[in-house]
Amino acid sequence: MPQTMKLALLDDYQKVALRMADWDRLRKRGIEISVFHEPFKSVDDAAAKLAPFDILGLLRERTAFPKALIDRLPNLKFMVLTGARAASLDDKAAAARGIPVSTTPGGGSNAPTAELGWALLMMCARDLGKAERLARTGKWHDGIEQMVVLEGKRLGILGLGKLGSRAARYGKAFGMDVVAWSQNLTPEKAAEGGARYVTKDELLATSDFVSIHLALSDRTRGLIQAADLAKMKKTAILVNTSRGPIVDEAALIAALKNRTILHAGLDVYDKEPLPADHPLTKLDNVTLIPHLGYVVEDSYRHFYGGAVQDIEAWLDGKPINVLNPDALKK
């Protein structure tokens, strides 16, 4: 391996990457480190700015890496992805060029994402985002119309995996009736996860809160369409902390505008970061937060510490945690 290489750490919006791991271990091996704090404006912008780099450090799915971008990076030799997978990364295109992509699996507890999801649900129930803004302007209770109590309400969970099961436990602790559905869920598995199995239609039609905990895939992309939103109660609240494209964004905006549902709480979007002029930002019955599910120090230290280890292993000619092993055959 060459002794001098250039590493770019991408999408460090909070400017914390360099203090979350011992990057001096790489600097001592001749690695020059640059950090990008702002999202790229386009594929052309990313291609121009990243062309000089040999190694790229990706923070989850913040920047998409399609074949069209990978093929325009002439010096690229290795990529490290924080997390275990990224639907926005074309690892096969990287493999075709002999570029391994290593990951940082594990990460400990999924509590940060689960807790964030529950906090968002509670914010929506009492419209705390609006309440906080009113308190700052001295309006006190003026304008507070949404006053929903959790106890005795039905929580419908779409996806009863590790995160969905945590949400079920939280719901039970708050005295809620918890039901669940996903494509592969059975009544037995639902019971094990702390919920009662119902059909998708029943869940949507009878739940006071619908919380999404599904991975984005071909099966779940666009799972919630206009017809699904129309089945929900007019007093229902939808919370999505999974991935934006699981819900048809245009249909959700229309449902909120028309008051088809009461409120939505979103941590994820079709396009991230969410543009300031996006239609969602103009609505008063949606609570928006900037994809904070995994954004805690413990997760960052795991991600970036793992990235250092992955790069060291690759420099030693013994790459680990390789997502696209075909790249090693080139």
Q: One fold for both 5-108+295-329 and 147-284?
A: yes
pLDDT over threshold 70, residue 3: no
Q: Is 291 a catalytic residue?
A: yes
pLDDT of residue 67: 97
Average pLDDT, the chain: 95
Pick the CATH number of 5-108+295-329 from 3.40.50.720, 3.40.190.10, 3.40.50.2300, 3.40.50.970: 3.40.50.720
Lowest mean pLDDT among 35-49, 67-81, 136-150, 289-303: 136-150
| Cβ 237 vs Cβ 259: under 8 Å | no
| SS3 state at 26 | helix
Domain layout of the chain by residue ranges = 5-108+295-329, 147-284
Q: Active site includes 243?
A: yes
* Residue 302 is a catalytic residue: no
Catalytic hit among 272, 278, 297, 312? 272
> With contact defined as beta carbons under 8 Å apart, do 56 and 10 qualify?
yes
Tell me what the mean pLDDT of segment 120-133 comes to.
Answer: 95
Catalytic residue among 62, 243, 263, 302: 243
Task: List the structure tokens of 191.
Answer: 């019971």
Query: pLDDT band at residue 236, thresholds of 50, 70 and 90?
Result: very high
CA dist 88 to 175, 243, 250, 267, Å?
38, 12, 21, 18
Model confidence at 1, pLDDT cuts 50, 70, 90, reads very low
What is the model's pTM?
A: 0.88
By the 8 A CB rule, do 244 and 214 touch? no
- As assigned by CATH, the class of the 147-284 domain is alpha beta
**At residue 108, does pLDDT exceed 80?**
no
Tokens encoding 214: 């599904």
DSSP string, 56-118: EEE-TTSS-B-HHHHTT-TT--EEEESSS--TTB-HHHHHHTT--EEE----S-SHHHHHHHH
At residue 147 the predicted structure's pLDDT band, cuts being 50, 70 and 90, is: confident
How far apart (Å, rounded) are the C-alpha atoms in residues 154 and 140?
30
